[in-house]
Amino acid sequence: MDPVKELFAELSSPDPSIRFSVLSRIEEMPLTASQIAEFRGMLASECEPGIRFHMQKVLARFEPGEQARPDRSGIAELLQQPGKDEISLALYLESVKRGEAQAVADELRKSGWVNFSAQLLPSVLKFLKKFGAAEDVNAVAALCSHGDPRVLSAAIEALEKLSPERLREHIVPLLLNANSGIRSRAVRILYRFDPSEALRHFESMLFSSSEEEKQAALFHSFFFPFKQIESLMLRYISVETDSELIKKAGLVFMANPDRQIPLRLLEARQACVGEKYQLIDSILKGVLQSLFQAGLVNAEPAQMLEVLENHFREKRIRLYIERFSLGLKSGDAETRLKSALKLCELIRHGVEEPRSLISDFLKKEKDEKVVARVGQFLESGRLEPETARKIEPETVGKSEPETAKAFIDLLPEQRQKIYDQINRENYGQQMAGIIGFFARLPVEEQIAVLGIIERSGTRRETELMLRCLESDNADLLTAAIDALSVVNPEALHPLLPQLIKHRFDEVKVAAIKVFALFDKKQAISLVEQMLHSIRPVQRRNAIFCLAHFDYASVSQILLTALKNESDEENQQQIFSILLSNADEETFFQVYVEARSGRSNRAELYARLYAGLVAKIIAADPAKTEAGLFAAAEERLEEEKRSQNQRSAYQLEKIQKIRQESQKKSEPDPGLIRFAVVAYAIGAILTALIWFLFMAPPTPQKVAKPAARAAGQPKSMTKTVKGVVSGVDAAKRQVDIADPAEQKTYRVHFPEKAGALPVIGNAFHGQLKVTGERGGILIGEWLNAF
Amino acid sequence: MSNFTITTANINGVFIIRPCGYVDEHGGAAIFATVQKALPEGHQKFILNLAASPVINSQGIAQIIELAEIIVDEKNGELAFTGLSELAGGVFKMVGLLQMGDAYPSEQQAVEALGN
């Protein structure tokens, strides 16, 4: 399609921000006489004054008199006219050459330009940005509180050029501005004066509930040093559910390849399922590709991925061993037994590392029953002592049908031998003979079978696993959840809300781990609740659960937990997770905590940061202890400095003021967006800031993905609390009104959702929002809490 | 540190910058310096051919934005990009560089467009 036609088609959009963004592209294009005529027709039907002004400016370029614009004396006359020709003036200011700029600036000053119309001011400010002088600073600074966002933005840009220091005095009002674009710009300005506080503001925008705010933060993420925002960005992509936003964030990672990032991304990927797994997988592969293309590594992406996946598996095993080896030191015999059995299970699956731990444990363990049961399990995979009968050697090797027929009649030891021999290759054959007898097997064998399904099973066994969820045995329930989470997580999904509330902590933790695959934010908040328990065991389970999340998502929670944790075993558990994920950001935070004088656990933190330094250096020989400590000391100094200065723009204060002002007047988001883009293009950077994260994509000469229809929401998972306001039983369609968000959802309830609710019922659950029709959000039921 | 080089050419009055290697802070500064040197020589039309620089980091982007501002905004010149990798194209679009200069599939097409 002809690019001009394409742009003209977009000029007919009912959305003024789309029309406005298109104008910036048309501005520089040569137009034919018929195109100019068509454009003129569009101008006649355009009602929005800001867009009209810009359209007139575009047209003026093609007017016959365009070549004969006023000279400097003409402009002086024009400036003095009460009803001045603003289009000519704007065009003239854009074309002033350096040689005559000084004289034009003088004329502008004489004419009292600050009182010009909001339409014209951006052109003047753009001119002053290029040719202004110290004497213009006060006037420009005064416009940094202008009500029109475009004037305000142009004023900030001009002041940034003329006297950047003066921006400091405008930080607070800019951070309070109703427009998210202005606010995020303010955060960037604040970064010059107070990097750590600016990053706190950036974090708050990135994790805001407003998509507009997140878009603005993502746009500005390119303007922060990546190292400073790396951890935030990792946490962001781990918890974000909007695929378009994840893709945008992915660009930041791919453009800033760092050798430490792929492993973190791999962890984030492993903590996801479905579309999000694919999205993070693409980002991970993109970063590996960038590392290779940038010449930062020599290994091909596929090779690196293999190494990373092995490393990830080893790290998981190491964490598992560390967790249960701590349990071996417990004062409670039952905990020691359970921990030892978990480690024995690993040994039985071919992981040799815990063998020496178990051997040492058995030598020191005083409880004979524990020694006997661990010894027995390690030997045979069974908890009970061997029966007197010997295994008949011919049984194990028998042909399959014969073995299957006799399976339930075999001795437990013989069955155990069969379990031990099952692998991916013979899984189908062997399990065929076992499944039928599953219900008659003792619980410990059922758990063993579930373990086999988890490692090698298929969705065919879903029913069997679901039946196990009705059990009252915590170990069996946990094993069934673990197996289902690997083999068929979707089947488990609707049951998770009940399992998360289960009376057994182990079951709760297993359910939360799976729940995190679908809704990480909520899962993390559930674990945080457990961390507030007064029972150390429940907190321990929560900490163990945190180890299963990707580190980026939970690092702050772990550090907060460490501040409050009084149980030594739990502290050790947190230590081991932090050390296993040692990175510079964690080190800096721990160092500041240890040295700031605000913690009464400075010694504990000092031990931790020493360990972190050792791990960081071991992982990256390019890092030195001296370098890390110098950087940490700098961070500490900066924190101290900021503590004294941050009174006015401190995040909490700004948030409080904004909340209060929002209570007074809730601006229409559509109007804000419109206000942002409703005026003609001024300074190029203004255009950058406004268009890029607010305006829809404009046609480019580079390849682009298919655009979504304007106004159509992206597919996203949403937790909704509301009231059923309508039911169409034939279509299984339920209308849910969410009074808090003032939204109505039309939701399709699949058969698996069971009986439809009735009008007036409360609804609390998750939906997949897929679109919008006539102001009603359309979606699919996912589950109900 | 990867090797980073820049070659330049002047075709039909269009100044072409061809970086090769990872455009990080150092690479971005080198591109910036090349443009700064060319401007006083009277060049107004620039093409940044990034075919041999598929990866440009945040600091590199910041330098390119700054030079684009100088060329387009301050000097009323023209800027075009070519050889953009999929990644660089996405980043340029996101940060708004494609509002400051158009992207072309080939250097020749960019020269033709700017030469007119």
The residues, ordered by sequence, that sit 6+ positions from A592 with a Cβ below 8 Å of its Cβ are A632, A635, A636, A639
Nearest Cα residue in chain B from A21: B99
CA B90 from centroid of its chain's CA atoms: 15
Inter-chain touch B3–A255, beta carbons under 8 Å: no
Q: Report the complex ipTM.
A: 0.92
Question: Is residue A677 scored above 60 in pLDDT?
Answer: no
The residues, ordered by sequence, that sit 6+ positions from A767 with a Cβ below 8 Å of its Cβ are A717, A718, A719, A720, A745, A747, A779, A780, A781, A782
Question: Is residue A129 scored above 70 in pLDDT?
Answer: yes
Picking from A285-294, A371-380, A694-703, which range would have the lowest pLDDT averaged per residue? A694-703
Interface probe for B, chosen from A125, A162, A230, A684 (most Cβ of B below 10 Å), is A684
Residue of B62, B76, B94 with shortest CB distance to A219: B94
- Short-list A756, A752, A738, A745, CA closest to A716: A745
Please answer whether residues A16 and A51 qualify as being in contact, where contact means their C-beta atoms are separated by less than 8 angstroms: yes
Question: Is residue A698 scored above 50 in pLDDT?
Answer: no
Inter-chain touch B95–A222, beta carbons under 8 Å: yes
A622 inside 8 A of chain B by CB: no
| Percent with pLDDT over 70 in chain A | 84
Q: What is the pLDDT of residues A92-104, one digit of tens each?
A: 888 788 788 888 8
Nearest Cα residue in chain B from A254: B87
**For residue A728, what are its two tokens?**
């169409």
Name the packing angle between helices A72-80 and A86-95 (round to 10°).
140
CA A53 from centroid of its chain's CA atoms: 40
Picking from A5-14, A387-396, A562-571, A723-732, which range would have the lowest pLDDT averaged per residue? A387-396
Mean pLDDT of all residues in A337-360: 88
Residue of A218, A257, A689 with shortest CB distance to B55: A257
Mean pLDDT of all residues in B39-59: 94
**For residue B96, what are its two tokens?**
């708004």
- As a whole number of angstroms, the distance between CA A411 and CA A402 comes to 15
Q: Which residue has the higher pLDDT, A47 or A312?
A: A312
List CB contacts (< 8 A) between A683 and chain B: 73
- As a whole number of angstroms, the distance between CA A520 and CA A549 comes to 9
A293 inside 8 A of chain B by CB: yes
Q: What is the pLDDT of residues A580-619, one digit of tens each?
A: 889 999 999 999 999 887 778 888 899 999 999 999 998 8
Mean pLDDT of all residues in A260-267: 92
Residue of B24, B86, B103 with shortest CB distance to A700: B103
Q: What is the pLDDT of residues A134-176, one digit of tens each?
A: 999 999 999 988 887 778 888 998 998 899 889 888 888 888 8
What distances in angstroms separate CA A681 from CA A21, A120, A190, A639, A695, one per listed residue?
Answer: 9, 11, 25, 40, 13
- The mean pLDDT of chain A is 81
Residue of A25, A683, A703 with shortest CB distance to B73: A683
Rg of chain B (C-alpha set): 13
Domain limits of chain A? 1-68, 387-518, 716-784
Question: Is residue A213 scored above 70 in pLDDT?
Answer: yes
Question: Is residue A226 scored above 80 in pLDDT?
Answer: yes
A219 inside 8 A of chain B by CB: yes
Please work out, in degrees rounded to the nearest 5, the angle formed at the alpha carbon of residue B92 by the alpha carbons of A197 and A233.
35
The pTM assigned to this predicted structure is 0.69
Q: Is A716-784 a CATH 2.40.50.140 domain?
A: yes
Nearest Cα residue in chain A from B22: A294
A406 inside 8 A of chain B by CB: no
Inter-chain touch A248–B94, beta carbons under 8 Å: yes
- Map residue A622 onto helix, strand or coil: coil
- Map residue B81 onto helix, strand or coil: strand
What distances in angstroms separate CA A745 from CA A522, A774, B97, one per listed residue?
Answer: 21, 11, 38
What chain B holds in terms of domains, given with CATH numbers, is 5-115 (3.30.750.24)
Residue of A295, A692, A697 with shortest CB distance to B95: A692
**Interface residue ranges in chain B relative to chain A, Cβ cutoff 8 Å:** 2-3, 21-22, 24, 54-59, 61-62, 65, 68-69, 72-74, 76, 84-96, 98-100, 102-105
State how far residue B29 is from chain A, nearest Cα, in angstroms: 15
List CB contacts (< 8 A) between B21 and chain A: 294-295
A290 inside 8 A of chain B by CB: yes
Mean pLDDT of all residues in A624-628: 93
- As a whole number of angstroms, the distance between CA A173 and CA A307 comes to 50
